[in-house]
Amino acid sequence: MQDTTFVSPYRNRGVQEKKEKVMPKFIKKLIRKTVFASFVLGGVAWMCNVDSITSSHIWQKAIDIFGYDINYEEARTTLSQAVVYIKEQFPEYFEAKAEIDPNEQMQQDVQSVLSKTTVLRPVAGLATQRFERKDGGIVHSGVDLAADIGTPVKAAIGGKVIKVESLEDSFGTYVKIQNENIITTYAHCSTIEVKEGDIVEQGAIIAYSGNTGKSTGPHLHFEISIDGRFVDPGFLLTYAN
């Protein structure tokens, strides 16, 4: 049986000892013991723009603000115990994840797509609006390709049809096709020639282009994503303009 000794964050209550066979009970009690100190110190950390609520700097600031109404040293010990225990039990949530530059991530995603499949042009029209990123965010998640109403739309990548829907705004009438972790989207269509659950081959006619939804004129809006991240079709398709 594991020793689950912890201390009270409140002044003058002393050290409380409790041994539990069922770990979830210990976690619940530890949470109740730390929640008050967490709120106090979390607020101070936010005001001081400091990440760790167990740092000595934060504790000194808390004492300056609130005085000695709280047994800070005992509360700090409790919080430290909680942090150590949770990190030991759930290490996967605390693994350092280095931030990847958006351009580098895009290059990696493009290579991931091309390593799995080629990408066909869904319609022959020129690009009227490209993929666009601004201020760190994506403002246009695909490419608009010129296409008269009724132009056949081909599957750029084969796969399973996972979504067929008609909206009054946004994408209008559209279809999504999934191939493992890659999803292609074809929007503003006039009609869809497949249904959800269908397996389509690359190059098969899946829809006819249109001017449905939030559209300023006949065209096909085409998107590619991998693992939920949008990929610039410009790196995968050869444009004439």
Q: Are residues 42 and 24 in the same domain?
A: yes
**Rounded Cα gap, residues 215 and 212, in angstroms:** 6
Residue 177 belongs to domain with CATH number: 2.70.70.10
C-alpha torsion sign, points 61, 67, 73, 75? negative
Q: Which residue has the higher pLDDT, 107 or 11?
A: 107
pTM confidence score: 0.59
- Count of domains for the chain: 2
Confidence of residue 45 (pLDDT cuts 50, 70, 90): very low
Q: Are residues 229 and 149 in the same domain?
A: yes
**pLDDT of 18:** 45
Q: Are residues 119 and 13 in the same domain?
A: no
Q: Are residues 137 and 205 in the same domain?
A: yes
Establish if 172 belongs to a structural domain. yes
Give mean pLDDT, residues 79-89: 66
**Rounded Cα gap, residues 185 and 188, in angstroms:** 10
Q: Are residues 88 and 111 in the same domain?
A: no
**Could you report the per-residue pLDDT of 35-44, keeping only the tens digit for each?**
555 555 554 4
Q: Are residues 62 and 127 in the same domain?
A: no
**pLDDT of 237:** 82
CB-count exposure of residue 46 (10 Å: 0-12, 13-18, 19+): exposed
* Domain that includes residue 125, residue range: 102-235
Q: Are residues 84 and 145 in the same domain?
A: no
**Rounded Cα gap, residues 26 and 163, in angstroms:** 45
The number of helix segments (H) and strand segments (E) in the chain equals 4, 14
Instruction: Choose the final residue of a domain: 93, 110, 140.
Output: 93
What share of the chain in percent tops pLDDT 90?
A: 40
Establish if 49 belongs to a structural domain. yes
Instruction: Choose the final residue of a domain: 53, 68, 93.
Output: 93
